[in-house]
Homo-oligomer: A and B are copies of this chain.
Amino acid sequence: MSYAIGVDIGGTKVQFAVIDREGNITNRHRVPTEANKGPEQLMNKVLLGIDMMMESIDQEEEIQGIGIGSAGQIDYREGTVRYAGDTLPDWTGTAIKEMIARRYNTSVYVDNDVNVIAIAEKMYGVGKDCDHFVCLALGTGIGGAVMEAGRLIRGVFGGAAELGHVSIDINGPRCSCGNNGCVELYASGSGIARLGLEMQRNGSASYAWRPNARDIIQAWHQHDPSATQVMRIVIRALGSAIAGYIHTFNPEAVVVGGGVAQSGPRFLQALDQEVNARTSSYMRGCCRLIPANFGSDAGVIGAAAQVWHYGESSCSQYMI
């Protein structure tokens, strides 16, 4: 048998898994990130976790490689953290690939958390019979990844597919990127909370609790009028942005995942209708809107799947 080890480094937890060529998880482990303890402690946790996964395999030579997915902006060529921000303070600059490659005699791949989700989808999800798709991760922010002709689009330094920073309202609020009305300000967890709070401050909210995305979505399912109004704005904004992605990438599928999308089929159904109304029929006709396939395992499966995706291709990671 052949196995790959995956590590998913997020702001709250680090997940480890061993997967086989078919993407089945044969062993798994998780630890809290405790990012506040600093990057060395975190790197030690990563190495210890990999050790544990290694030991779970009978014969070390069955390990075909190690793949890492990390929050932050990752230089996938060097396998370093270009910028990590508040999610993982001081993680910026960490030479993840080098430190892992120094310890283990196998191939090591490092990429950001959304690109590896797209790789999971390519290997075991929508991408099994589809070479062109867009992945959206609706979490605290909005992350994006795009497969075009079976390759991740990268841009000049790997910064491509920042799909949360596409504006849908030039008269909307200012975004940290400098633009106004980026879709992340509406359809991410923090965006939904912002809209909920705004409504409360205007005195027009039907809820008295301090709004957060989870509670607003739950209230929406219970037909709370203010939550319904908030979610109407969210779905309209995201629908308009997705229509733009479809005209931009002419994909076969837009895969929607992340916490915001995981509240049941109603969200995707409403979004589907909105996208439908906002997209040329000739583009929309060949494009499905679908939920992400692997839920909270997407990151760790995708991290490991890099080993098969790049290892079995005729091209290197830099080409794909």
Binding site for B on A (CB under 8 A): 73, 83, 131-132, 144, 148-149, 151, 153-163, 165-171, 176-181, 236-237, 240-241, 243-244, 247-252, 277-280, 282-283, 286-287, 319
Q: Is the CB of B154 within 8 A of A279?
A: no
Contact of A169 among B151, B169, B179 (CB under 8 A): B169
Q: Is the CB of A251 within 8 A of B165?
A: no
Which residues of the partner chain B approach A159 to less than 8 Å between Cβ atoms?
250, 282-283
Contact of A177 among B131, B171, B247, B250 (CB under 8 A): B247
Q: Is the CB of A155 within 8 A of B249?
A: yes
Query: In whole angstroms, what is the CA distance A162 to B250 when docked?
Result: 9
Count this chain's copies in the assembly. Answer: 2
Q: Is the CB of A167 within 8 A of B165?
A: no
Which residues of the partner chain B approach A165 to less than 8 Å between Cβ atoms?
243-244, 247, 280
Contact of A249 among B153, B282, B319 (CB under 8 A): B153
Q: Is the CB of B250 within 8 A of A166?
A: no
CB distance from A42 to the nearest CB of B (A): 23
Query: In whole angstroms, what is the CA distance A176 to B280 when docked?
Result: 8
CB distance from A130 to the nearest CB of B (A): 8
Query: In whole angstroms, what is the CA distance A167 to B171 when docked?
Result: 12
Q: Is the CB of B170 within 8 A of A240?
A: yes
CB distance from A237 to the nearest CB of B (A): 6
Which residues of the partner chain B approach A151 to less than 8 Å between Cβ atoms?
149
Query: In whole angstroms, what is the CA distance A165 to B181 when docked?
Result: 17
Q: Is the CB of A161 within 8 A of B240?
A: no
What are 13 A-B pairs with beta-carbon distances under 8 A?
A: A144-B248, A148-B153, A148-B155, A149-B151, A155-B250, A157-B286, A159-B283, A162-B248, A162-B280, A166-B248, A179-B244, A179-B278, A244-B244
* Given A166-B244, A168-B170, A240-B167; A251-B156 close (CB under 8 Å): yes
Which residues of the partner chain B approach A243 to less than 8 Å between Cβ atoms?
165, 167, 177-179
Chain B residue at smallest Cβ distance from A166:
B244
* Given A153-B148, A156-B252, A240-B167; A247-B162 close (CB under 8 Å): yes
Contact of A250 among B156, B247, B319 (CB under 8 A): B156
Which residues of the partner chain B approach A144 to less than 8 Å between Cβ atoms?
248
Q: Is the CB of B157 within 8 A of A277?
A: no
Query: In whole angstroms, what is the CA distance A169 to B180 when docked?
Result: 10
Which residues of the partner chain B approach A171 to less than 8 Å between Cβ atoms?
169, 171
Which residues of the partner chain B approach A156 to less than 8 Å between Cβ atoms?
131-132, 250-252, 286-287
Query: In whole angstroms, what is the CA distance A160 to B247 when docked?
Result: 6
Which residues of the partner chain B approach A236 to less than 8 Å between Cβ atoms?
170
